[in-house]
Amino acid sequence: MAQIRLKNVSKRWNNFIGVDNFNLDIADQEFLVLLGPSGCGKTTTMRMIAGLEDITEGEIWIGDRLVNKLEPKDRDISMVFQSYGLYPNMTVYENIRFPLKVRKVPAGQHHERVMAASKMVELDDFLQRRPAALSGGQRQRVALARAIVREPNAFLMDEPLSNLDAKLRVSTRAQIKNLHHTLKRTTIYVTHDQIEAMTLADRVVVMSKGLIQQVGTPMEIYDRPANTFVASFIGSPAMNLVHGEIHNGVFTGDHIRVDGLSTQVNGPVTLGFRAEDAVLADSNAHIEAPIYSVELLGEATMISMRVAGELVSIKVGKDYRAEIGDVVRVNIAPSACHLFDRSTGQRIATAG
Amino acid sequence: MSDTAVSQRRPLGLNIIIIGFLVVWVVLAAFPFLWTVWGSFKVEPDFFSRQNWINAITGPFTQRQTGSAFTGDGYYGAWVTREFWRAVANTAIVTVSVTVISLTLGTLGGYALARSGQRYAFWILIAALVFRAMPHITLVSGYLLPFFELNIWGVLPTSIIVLVAINQPFTLWMLHSFFLSIPKDLDESAMVDGCSRFEAFRRVIIPVMWPGVVTTGLFSFLLAYNDFAVTSMLLSSDNQTMVPKISSFLGSVQEQGNVMFAVAAVVSATVPLFILVLFFQRQIVSGLTAGAVKG
């Protein structure tokens, strides 16, 4: 059993704050993704859990053990590094076997366990090669096999897919998801790619500047972003954010007027809506603005317009054709609108 | 095949220049050594002939004195009469000790400095560089009086310690930069896989570092092997290593034949270096092109 609990964990270097007051309970067998832009403290958080980075303040518990002062080797975790960290002087077989060897697992079990791990990641044909003779994807799988061979309490993965090409990334992502399902171990996964986070996670932790912005399931984060940072980070394209004023349930701004919103909020706000929630209208529309650009995506067409100083994207049918400069009219369902406080960026809870 | 294709495409004139340059260079580089090897089998009036330099090649005096064109007298005199083997043994002790001690301290220290995030690591390295840049003799003159007072002058361990002290900054620098070229991820994955810091160093880092260790070891070896300043000042004549011993042969020219002892000894001292370089050339080349160590 490996719940991982972080209590008020902070990391500071002199005056620079890497991670600030991080509180989180990670359930046993959960797939947790730490998501954020580079420099947000997500990798630092993972390295603190692994024991590769000292903790300035706070407590980290793995299972029922306080691990603050434990060496990485005593925490019973395994980790996949962004650059894989394979041992160049050993064959693939020896690489995978290394954790068993150092941890003095009885030699009789080694072969069986190495073969089981290599089978899981489909490496059987490469066992006698050295890492230098492998492609990026194969190296990545060696790193995975080395992590799973020991069957530790928890897996930590630090952007394991970021060095792979787009196609391989999709198939390896599926493989990781499947491995988690098979092995049923607590997994913490660091990424800056919101699609990876959405597809893999049971729960996502969105971080920015060392602070947790929101914790929730992928759908919660997508549907109810806690602030403008999360809203602009999740989804492809990101949520449209428009600054304006709201009075009596009517949001107004340059080129935009949306009615039917909550009447409890008044004053300057930021309105958010997703590209796919906007629909084309004939007249009397919420948004009326000239087209800034048209992008054909294949399954849909993306048009963008300048509304209240911001570039707003909306998704329309794939057969839609228009020229730059044409005026389009767009309606947004009030239920698909999100309101954020203009100064703090925090979500304003509304009944609707 | 491809070589001939390339050379055929080159104009003839260029080829002649290239080959001519190589020949001149090889002759310039190898001549002094070949000359010495040849001459070491002659007697002094031939090798240091005042009448005609051709004598050094044909050897009429050698013929007259020993009855053959070549003689091993120089080697016999040096090795047996003047006990050059003692100097060889001393050199072996000094060089091996210096290399082993330098490498042990150098790998541990270089690794620590390479992985330390502290600012003082930089200043330690700069200080090491300063001491490295000093002429060796400046250190030795300061040592002399204390060593006499402590009564440790003239013995091998003393010069071993001094040579290690002189050599250490260099090994530290060199190994430090080798360690820097090894990604940190390697230590960290070893530590997560179950190694302590020292085990990660021993089982993962050192095997990857091997070419660097061999190269640095070779340089340490050569420093100790070739040293004159320290060993000539700090060793008594009974404990001399090869280089000061050769110098002492040269310093007593009044007795005929001694110079030839020196020549024979020089040849004896060079042979091991050839063997060493031939044996380790692969490691030296891969060590000098470091950075090839990838994670």
CA distance A69 to A179: 30
Angle at B168 between CA B167 and CA B171, to 5 degrees: 90
**Tokens 């190495």 sit at which residue?**
A114
The beta-strand segments (E) located in A194-277 are: 203-208, 211-216, 240-247, 250-253, 256-258, 267-273
Over residues B87-105, the pLDDT tens digits come to: 999 999 999 999 999 999 9
Radius of gyration of chain A from Cα atoms? 24
CA distance B216 to A314: 63
Give me the pLDDT at residue B295, please: 36
pLDDT more than 70, % of chain B:
91
Give me the pLDDT at residue A79, please: 92
Q: How far is CA A126 from CA A112, A130, A284, in A?
A: 16, 8, 65
Section B107-126 average pLDDT:
86
Q: What is the ipTM of this complex?
A: 0.81
CA distance A40 to A24: 16
Contact status of B116 with chain A (Cβ, < 8 Å)? no
In this structure, the number of other CB atoms found within 10 A of the CB of residue A40 comes to 24
Section B46-66 average pLDDT:
83
- From the list A52, A71, A102, the residue facing B193 with the nearest CB is A102
B185 to A88: CB separation less than 8 angstroms, yes or no: no
Q: Which residues of A touch B199 (CB under 8 A)?
A: 102
Omega into B183 within 30° of 0, i.e. cis?
no
DSSP state, residue B202:
I
Fold of the CATH domain A237-341: OB fold (Dihydrolipoamide Acetyltransferase, E2P) (2.40.50)
Q: B134 falls in which pLDDT band (50, 70, 90)?
A: confident
Q: Which residues of B touch A85 (CB under 8 A)?
A: 183, 185-186, 188-190, 295
- What tokens does A196 get? 């990876």
CA distance B203 to A304: 57
CB contacts < 8 A (A, B)? 71
Statement: residue B288 has pLDDT above 60: no
CA distance B84 to B246: 9
- From the list B192, B199, B207, the residue facing A78 with the nearest CB is B192
Among A47, A53, A81, the strongest candidate for a mutation testing the B interface, having the largest count of B CBs within 10 A, is A81
What pTM did the predictor assign?
Answer: 0.78
Question: Which residues in chain A come in under a pLDDT of 50?
Answer: 352
Which residues of A lie inside 8 Å of B (Cβ-Cβ)? 50-52, 71-73, 77-79, 81-89, 98-99, 102-103, 132, 146, 150, 156
Omega into A237 within 30° of 0, i.e. cis?
yes
A79 to B199: CB separation less than 8 angstroms, yes or no: no
CA distance A106 to A174: 33
Q: Please report, for chain A, the start and end positions of each structural domain, with discontinuous segments joined by +.
A: 4-225, 237-341
Over residues A293-314, the pLDDT tens digits come to: 999 888 889 999 988 888 999 9
A72 to B192: CB separation less than 8 angstroms, yes or no: yes
Length of chain A: 352
Q: How far is CA A124 from CA A117, A120, A145, B101, B158, in A?
A: 9, 9, 11, 44, 57
The domains of chain B, with CATH numbers, are: 2-77 (no CATH), 81-288 (1.10.3720.10)
Over residues B193-202, the pLDDT tens digits come to: 989 999 999 9
Give me the pLDDT at residue A2, please: 83
Statement: residue B7 has pLDDT above 70: no
Section B173-182 average pLDDT:
88
In the CATH scheme, what architecture does the domain A4-225 have?
A: 3-Layer(aba) Sandwich (3.40)
Q: B164 falls in which pLDDT band (50, 70, 90)?
A: very high
* Mean pLDDT value across chain B: 84
B186 to A87: CB separation less than 8 angstroms, yes or no: yes
Q: How far is CA A131 from the centre of its chain?
A: 29
- From the list B189, B293, B294, the residue facing A81 with the nearest CB is B189
A260 in helix, strand or coil? coil
- What tokens does B95 get? 């060089």
Over residues B236-245, the pLDDT tens digits come to: 888 889 999 8
Nearest CA among B121, B120, B106, B119 for reference residue B178: B106
Over residues B249-286, the pLDDT tens digits come to: 887 655 666 788 888 898 999 888 888 888 877 776 66
Statement: residue B118 has pLDDT above 50: yes
Residues B97, B103, B109, B112, Cα dihedral to 10°? -150
